[in-house]
Amino acid sequence: MYALIVAGMLLAGWIALLCLDTGYRIKFFVRHIANHSPPMASAYVSRAYSYRSVEEMRSGELKAMVDLLSDANPQVRYIAASYFGWLRDVNLSGVEGIEENIRKIADGADPLPAAQALYALGLFPAESNFEFLQSKVHDRTIDEAVRVAALNGLVRTANPKGVDDVISCARLSDGELRGLAIRNLGNYDSEEAINLIAELLSSNDLCSTPRGRVPVSGLALEALERFNYKHPERDLSGKMDPPLLKACITTLSSYEQTKCVEMIQDESMRLSAYENMLLSHGKGWAEYSQERAIAGLRGMKSSAEEAILILEKAFSNPNISPKIRQQIERTIDYLRKGDARSPDACEEELKKFARDPEVTVRRDVAENPSASEDVLKILAQDSDKEIRKGVAEHPNASREILKMLVEDSYWWVRAKVAEHHNTGEEELRMLVQDPSWHVRTRAFRNKNCPPDTGKVDCDKAIADSTQAIKLNPKDINALFNRGEAYSKRSDYIEAAKDFTQVIRINPKHAKAFYGRGTVHYERDDYDRAIADFTRAIKLGLKDADASYKRGKAYFEKDNYRKAIADFTQAIELGSKNADTFYNRGKAYFSKGNYEKAIADCTQAIEFDPKYVHAFNTRGAAYFRKGDYDKSIADCTQAIKISPRCADAYNTRGAIYEKKGEQEKAAADFKKAKELGAK
């Protein structure tokens, strides 16, 4: 009886609490977790990270959190300051009481709330706040964690004068403050900062960080990566190559070596770095590092002799694993065959390369400007979609060759056909009705004006928009139009800059997020693409392509559940075509749901009866279900449509092997190997 009374009182209390407005409930909850469940606080305040404007917050939430900044309980003040620290790019100017209260906590004696408040203060880039953060950074009488937070806040203000403070901290002898400062050197386009990054890349010192003591050269490498991302137009290769080589050879772990060598531009220095990666075992990820070195040497056809010598030296090393030894052997063979990309290669050589079992050799031929129509005809029937894409964009591709590719299963191949100057009107009439939006738009543009005119139109749009931006740097329409023009011209770095500027001016510009997401997707930066597509969708963009592209990005990240959800949403928004159903079917297959994979691939085939990959994936799904006859039928159909589909031969060979038909299995496996299957 007593228990029921207590339960009733608790229930009545919760009902009364729910009747209060949102602000009161938030205050009650924050005070409760501050007193009874501090670990829950970080999970609660991290919600602020998703906000991009004050309007997105719940009614009364901002005022409640501002009031809590002056609460008597230091733990409550800590939670409130943390909340504002989690906010990103939210304009809080004009919100009464917030800046003063955060400044007051930042100047307090309690280090935990003070650290959070100092970081949050970076949201208010007033000169007085910047100077206050400067004083805290250089105050040696306070806790180092507080100074670290102050430096974080100072960098967050984006005040260019902060570079002197960051450089000063980066020159300290040790400590987490130094580690943070080194990483942040890349935020500033300053010659002194660049010179210091170069100097630190050559350092053999270790530095304290939250993840332990790490090489200073590794932190400098992070700074250089950040600088290259923020300032892609700057070429620092002459200044950075020598220290990058030293860092790669002497101090970095195997994983960091692979990132480091990609930044080295000088060919002889890259060869030295690859040699070191192959012959010395780094601190962890050694085999990964060796594989990346082999891949790098494979691409250095202009220095083939030097690359072969390095590979032969590594091959004789008894410590090299059998797996790496096999890769070295294949790469030496590849380099000795000659250069399939050389414009001086004769037609007979190129025909031989076009039939080479190594897919990378055939891809090189597709990129060779000297490839003739006969060579391109061979490649147009290749099972590798990237090779067919190379043929579709090759300047020597004739109308006859493009006609072979007009119904290709890969939408990107069809898109390249749609914009090719040799594509005929008959093919364009088909392509303007293609299920893929990308193909339709390119075909329409090609049909109404040649590609050269289209490029001039883009150039004119960029010039006109640039003129408008000069008159008004915050002209959103001009910035957005220029971003779209750059994107259409595949100038993704400039496009990203313009879309980002639009978002800074108007954080609710859904189409700008979509445009930037598309740019990230085209550059294979799937995490950023997902973030931007998500933002566009949350802001109300009802565009099937946003869901479809996010689904493809999730698929590349192996997140099949979310990929399926996005492809489903794209279908619901009107993207009912072969590509969308096939991609959802492929995601279902990867997740192990073979029934649904079969259903979606069947739907894709209904839209496009020559969709090779849909037949192949459905055949593989039937195989996994044990329905061998249907699997053989689908693989056979895939081979009939595309005789060079190596995956279909492989799958069919595996089925024949299961059924005990060894001769047929051997024949299919042999054919798959000839076509370059692994």
b/e map 523-561, b = 16+ CB within 10 Å: eebbebbbbbbbbbbebebebbbbbbbbbbbbbeeebbe
- Judge whether 11 and 48 are in contact, CB under 8 Å: no
pLDDT of residue 281 exceeding 70, the answer is no
Report, as an integer, the average pLDDT of 446-474: 63
Report, as an integer, the average pLDDT of 587-615: 90
pLDDT tens per residue, range 230-239: 776 677 877 8
What percent of the chain clears pLDDT 70, i.e. is strictly above it? 83
**Residue corresponding to tokens 């999730």:** 554
Separation CA 661–CA 34 (nearest Å): 70
pLDDT tens per residue, range 354-396: 888 878 788 888 888 888 889 999 999 998 888 999 999 988 8
Q: Is the dihedral of CA 620, 625, 628, 629 positive or negative?
A: negative
pLDDT of residue 111 exceeding 90, the answer is no
Separation CA 118–CA 177 (nearest Å): 14
Q: What is the architecture, at CATH level 2, of domain 1-159?
A: Alpha Horseshoe (1.25)
Separation CA 155–CA 130 (nearest Å): 9
**Coil, helix or strand for 357?**
coil
pLDDT tens per residue, range 241-251: 888 888 877 76
Which of 91-95, 320-324, 453-457, 463-467 bottoms out in mean pLDDT, i.e. has the lowest? 453-457
Instruction: Report the CATH number of the 449-507 domain.
Output: 1.25.40.10
Q: 117 is written with which tokens?
A: 């408040």
Report, as an integer, the average pLDDT of 516-525: 88
Separation CA 158–CA 161 (nearest Å): 9
pLDDT of residue 443 exceeding 80, the answer is no
Residue 208, φ and ψ in degrees, nearest 5: -75, 135
What fold, for 509-674?
1.25.40
Separation CA 292–CA 331 (nearest Å): 12
The answer for residues whose C-beta is within 8 angstroms of residue 517's C-beta and 6 or more apart is 528, 529, 530, 531, 532, 533, 535, 536, 546, 549, 550
- Judge whether 219 and 179 are in contact, CB under 8 Å: yes
Q: Is the dihedral of CA 363, 369, 371, 373 positive or negative?
A: positive
pLDDT of residue 146 exceeding 70, the answer is yes
Q: What is the architecture, at CATH level 2, of domain 347-430?
A: Alpha Horseshoe (1.25)
Separation CA 450–CA 75 (nearest Å): 66
Residue 164: per-residue pLDDT: 93
The structural domains of the chain, with segments of one domain joined by +, span 1-159, 347-430, 449-507, 509-674
Q: Pairing mode, if any, of strands 206-209 and 212-215?
A: antiparallel
Separation CA 577–CA 564 (nearest Å): 15
pLDDT of residue 16 exceeding 50, the answer is no
- Judge whether 151 and 181 are in contact, CB under 8 Å: yes
Separation CA 239–CA 194 (nearest Å): 9
The answer to whether domain 1-159 and domain 449-507 are alike in fold is no
Average pLDDT, the chain: 81
Which of 91-95, 515-519, 556-560 bottoms out in mean pLDDT, i.e. has the lowest? 91-95
Residue 450: per-residue pLDDT: 39
- Judge whether 563 and 586 are in contact, CB under 8 Å: no
Q: Which residue has the higher pLDDT, 5 or 392?
A: 392
